[in-house]
Amino acid sequence: MRSLSQTETALPALGDILVSEAQLQARVRELAAEISQDYAGQDLLLVTVLKGGLYFLADLSRHLTLPAAIDFMAITSYRADSPSGVARLLKDLDEDITGRDVLLVEDIIDTGLTAAYLLRVLRTRSPASLAICTLLDKTARRIVPTLPIRYRGFEIPDVFVVGYGLDFRQQYRTLPYIAVLKDEPGTIPDRR
Ligand code: IMP
Ligand code: MG
């Protein structure tokens, strides 16, 4: 039997696939179609938070049928660094968003604290409109009751998921599907 590498032994195993690659791609196309209709004639800027939103943004944006710009922010994660609810901006936008139609593209909304923080930051810059498109919505854990979620890919139960941008300690982002993380160490199964 081959011995496990360091990465393999250090990581919890993947559990069931919650959203398959085919399901993801089909839903992303539907969302892109809705967004293309809703933002016709507007100055759409897709804003994503690194690194988790990268895959969703890339797929979503390439199915849009209207002109759109993209930009990125990076923040400290509430979960990793500050459970007290204080976030910090690590990378700001390059674009001026004043008077533009900003769609915040998120990988997942859990407690909602991160999204609320980002909205506060963006609102001070007077965009023409500001809404959220989230791939995953974990409503069971929501703390912030009112978020302007205009588009939602999938509502998921209160489980920790990885893949398609979502990580556990920087691993598993590159999987093309969303899987539940188990708590035992293990290896990455076939990409099917
Ligand atoms: P919030 O609780 O809505 O502020 O979410 C904070 C951040 O926690 C998200 O942007 C994700 O980076 C991370 N997060 C929340 N739930 C999960 C999960 O199930 N898997 C991976 N990351 C998660
Ligand atoms: Mg995130």
| pLDDT reported for residue 87 | 79
Closest CA to 137 of 19, 6, 14, 3: 19
pLDDT interval class at 192 (50, 70, 90)? very low
97 lines ligand 1 (CB under 6 A): no
Structure confidence at residue 186 (pLDDT)? 56
CA of 28 to the centre of ligand 1 (A): 19
pLDDT at 81 over 50: no
Per-residue confidence at 191, pLDDT binned at 50, 70, 90?
Answer: very low
Q: What is the mean pLDDT of residues 122-150?
A: 96
Q: End-to-end distance of the chain based on CA atoms, in angstroms? A: 24
Amino acid 187: pLDDT: 54
Mean residue pLDDT of the chain comes to 90
- Of 110, 137, 167, 183, the active-site residue reads 110
**Residue 7 above 90 pLDDT?**
no
Q: What is the mean pLDDT of residues 100-113?
A: 97
Enclosing H/E stretch for 102 = strand 101-109
Distance 40 CA to ligand 1 centre (A): 31
Mutating to test ligand 1, I would choose from 166, 167, 181 the residue with most ligand atoms within 8 A of its C-beta, which is: 166
Q: Would you say the CB of residue 112 lies under 6 angstroms from ligand 1? A: yes
Please check the confidence at residue 78 and state whether its pLDDT lies above 80: no
pLDDT at 11: 82
107 in Cβ contact with 137 (< 8 Å) = no
Nearest to 45 by CA among 4, 100, 90: 100
The pLDDT assigned to 183 comes to 78
Query: Is 190 tagged catalytic?
Result: no
**Smallest Cα–Cα separation from 172: which of 33, 182, 38, 151?**
182
Which DSSP symbol is given to 172? S
